[in-house]
Structure 1
């Protein structure tokens, strides 16, 4: 496959794939319109009108979904209904990690909804599994004033971990904004997709107050603030924190000093939910950076952005973009698919925001394809944080479309791209030579909404040629030259696979059940007003 094919066929808006249904894989149709002009004009039009999978492709993706679900079942404790963070290669005799998180639990819940929608499990089994998990969550220890959950639990008992998941040191339980965002997102899906579990889901969701994370003073003088990374209920002995309470009532908590200050990150799911529920002001959305400013004071990032200033809700926004292979796009921190596209599993960002995400998401997918096939010449594509084939966990991405100066590399050698900051500093490695590329299958699944045929072909070759596949579906990552495979399954990554298949082949089952009610009323007009500077150069 060449870049020319990518250029002709890739740029599709959210949900423009009209998928024929068969054996539980049903038609998906999310019509989107684009009103941008100039360099950002409708890059999705080339595929609008529908990609129709063949019977063989539907059968192939159906098998992937069934095997992926098998890994999630293997991860899940039979008594608590909580999934482990990860298991090894075996799904028949799984060795569970001994810990889980609110994100993992949420991923299992929305995967159960998908499994039912695709006919993998019965409605009765779906209800039983969802009820079991939610019932456990009504009993686990959590930060009661905010209704939020701690970062780590023992999946077999539901007890809060007070030793880190590696078992190496004592920890103070942390209450993460993004992890609770994904759990709340799952509850919002469940309450609509499974009405028989609505009361139980609502009993958890109604207590969750995202105002605890919103710091109105994080960007003084701007007119809006930022979301905190999270807080501790009690002060940690080894970390400086900000004592306080952004809600103004109840006991103080101990905030981590970190804020999410960039827009193109998976963490935007938490303010989306907070805005939809009236807990976070809509101006927060525009307080995050699209890129950091184009002045030499910010020259430590990967490249100098180009863009214009626009005002939304009284907030001045620099609509900066990065350049890569003839594209201009809003970067994420690491240039990975997870940061850019995981929120899009829930919010139909491209169709709701055609002048911003509707341009940026397809370009992100195109950048991954061209990086893997034409720039680094790996022969495969799709890069996101995942298990390292050599052991442990690492971050992967297309470094050129990320802001991180250290880079999210796309290979085992951690090759760093640095273009330099025009007029301020020279680049250290503007033309890198790449080594043993590491592709992560869940990243290609996230891209399926935008490049369905190419994603399926890429994944089919990862299975058949690289053999990065087992009884629970795709292994977490594979190094394309050495053939090293991370032979384990991560519940979050498998849940992203299920969510992507559920949207593309299951009638937008995740988006359709999330993006209703207050989400549609408050989030849709908010993101619709923005125009990125993204487009083709």
Structure 2
């Protein structure tokens, strides 16, 4: 069976050599345009890489660390010149990626990792590490940049969280994957509102059962844990109109109080840059042996 030639990568296209003549025809100039654009984009990306590296190397994360509690504050109050009084204190949190980096850079002591809370419960017959909001984001976002270690506490938590999300969606007859996302409420400027949504029982926060918002990027994050089920779920989302020109729309809101009469759910026709970015990294990792 004849194989079709693959498309060149951005790097390959940027470094293609072309025979330039003093008198180029319009057709030759048109043919060379993709290479020129690729080189310009690659140069821009390299500048962004250097800028990001400079900012990262110049940052000391101990600024946000409470040495007495051995925890990171959620932020710094500029008006009052003090750390906020709330803390990232769960292991099952997206913030553990910051903890990991800070410890690796010696910005904070190793003991910080063991200070992070590890509350447990039994859900769907599985012993499960709990988070605050019960979102896929809290459990799976760090996997974009960190390995899954077989047999570890976190691997068990990943699998249990994905299983809980799948079962929760199945029980309600909807696609699975709940996380922080835009939802069907607009402010005075007609901008979609945004908040964290999660699965009851998996998150300790009260009131999680009051909302039902499914975000496609949550399925992307689940690719390293349950790839076949994640792809099947994305296909289900595509079948109900969730895939647009620039990728999947941010979410679909199944919350009864916010959907028009007669409609099953409300599609949020918006795209969030960070959700699209996480999706791209998750896909790249899945297709290229955890490249990141």
- TM-score, length basis structure 2: 0.78
Match of 1:335 in 2: 134
Match of 1:287 in 2: 115
Number of residue pairs matched by the alignment: 247
1:381 lines up with 2:145 in the alignment: no
Match of 2:238 in 1: 463
Offset, 1:130: 4.7
* TM-aligned CA distance change 1:122 to 1:359, over 3 Å: farther
After TM superposition, the structure 1 = structure 2 runs for residues 136-535 of structure 1, keeping only pairs within 5 Å, are 190=49, 197=50, 200-218=51-69, 225-232=70-77, 234-236=78-80, 253-291=81-119, 321-348=120-147, 350-351=148-149, 354-373=151-170, 375-378=171-174, 380-391=175-186, 392-407=193-208, 409=209, 414=210, 437-464=212-239, 466-479=240-253, 482-510=264-292
Encode CA deviations 1:96-138: one digit per residue, 9 max, x unaligned.
Answer: xxxxxxxxxxxxxxxxxxxxxxxxx95752341351xx4xxxx
* TM-aligned CA distance change 1:452 to 1:23, over 3 Å: farther
Greater helix content: 2
Offset, 1:23: 4.9
Match of 2:17 in 1: none
> Are the aligned partners of 1:331 and 1:401 in contact in 2 as well (CA < 8 Å)?
yes
Q: Which runs of 5+ in 2 are unaligned?
A: 8-36, 187-192, 255-262
CA distance, structure 1, for counterparts of residue 75 and residue 111 of structure 2: 20
Offset, 1:343: 0.9
SS of match in other structure, 2:122 = strand
Of the two structures, which has the highest relative contact order with CA contacts closer than 8 Å and spacing of 6 or more? 1
Match of 1:97 in 2: none
Q: Which runs of 5+ in 1 are unaligned?
A: 1-21, 25-120, 135-189, 191-196, 219-224, 237-252, 292-320, 416-436, 511-537
Cα RMSD (Å): 2.4
- TM-score, length basis structure 1: 0.43
> Are the aligned partners of 1:228 and 1:260 in contact in 2 as well (CA < 8 Å)?
yes
* TM-aligned CA distance change 1:362 to 1:206, over 3 Å: same
Offset, 1:376: 2.4
* TM-aligned CA distance change 1:202 to 1:494, over 3 Å: closer
CA distance, structure 2, for counterparts of residue 394 and residue 230 of structure 1: 18
* TM-aligned CA distance change 1:123 to 1:364, over 3 Å: farther
